Structure 1
């Protein structure tokens, strides 16, 4: 997935709504089932549709970062995009409402334009990741899951551990479905995991030195691969380990922020 508006949240929201509209189905629910490739009234369908709502929320947040004139122009269409996703006044199983009516082409066109302006204005951030290689992030998340499962109960609260594992598993799930939800959702959720790991790590007063060391190395490694994904630059394997130049630079920045 090369750098373009194809890595943005509004692009993938546009793609999903277009798929519903062009599904050829006679009802809204059937169109959504085809677009999300999940059985209606299932947990998986609910999870995938919730991610569509997340794409809209991410789009709104990114629009708020645009210059005032552009922001105001696109924010006018947010209620229409929300209505297309939720359809609060419509029975999705109504045979008299074919999926083609779920959203108008003009509303879709404005959504695609939003993807283009976000791609041009926020390039290099997690709103517009410049790389399409998610293998390193997936591997880092899986390594973290394995590491967390090894940590003794005396070192970390069980509920915190389970929460972190669930967040990491969600990142892996998003990577597995990146063609549907896009790289921006992966980048955003990975950033959230990084923050959670930092918070939990700071509260682990009973952690053994080896555990604390592995935690710090793993945290810096995850930051390294996420930065590489957002910036579209390769990351050598040795840069992820202890002593790698990139990790040293990240550690220096972190220390400066903390005033150490």
Structure 2
């Protein structure tokens, strides 16, 4: 029984690389997802996952299926949308969520158009939905470098993020000059993780391992450390089970991973010990 469960990873290198990539993303993206949940920014993450598409498309037009070029373009585009949305919300009466919605819808349409200009439907599907089983050694190293940097940067701003999540007034009064840099760096880390996730799950579903594990954790713990630990574990288990499921049921791997995380969310909503429907 145990051999049957581990057989795909023992016998096939592409399955091991896919799992390692998903684990790396879970380790760095899940803690960011927890802070996005606490700051009520989960839909911002979804908007940013679409916003990186034009940059990915420009990288594709310039260099073909070069993950470095596409990742760099996606990071620049996502960060630009985040900064522009914040600027518009500050200078106008429009709220930040509405500003993000306007920019990300335009970005999504522009990205799909740019990819379609030069590429085929297969290229468009690869960009939108990823190809987790096609991760090679170079891609895995890039994902690992991004996730390692993200964890180090998160450690630097961790205390400020905790304060911003629970007492934004204190941050504004006690260290007002740090509020904007911390927020911008946090958004930058979110975009960076979405860029890493796009290589695995595509631009449309890269937000899955960012948001879903964090929302699951909310139903199982009320402490910050517990939320982060449960979110990371949920992301890793969703990746493992999703890859197993896709292998034996002949399903696309990326959607299987996100669907597994979504099923974990539904289970948590129903039976979570911290506010679950049947445990309230």
The structure with the larger Rg is 1
Query: What is the TM-score normalised by the length of structure 2?
Result: 0.26
**TM-score normalised to the size of structure 1?**
0.28
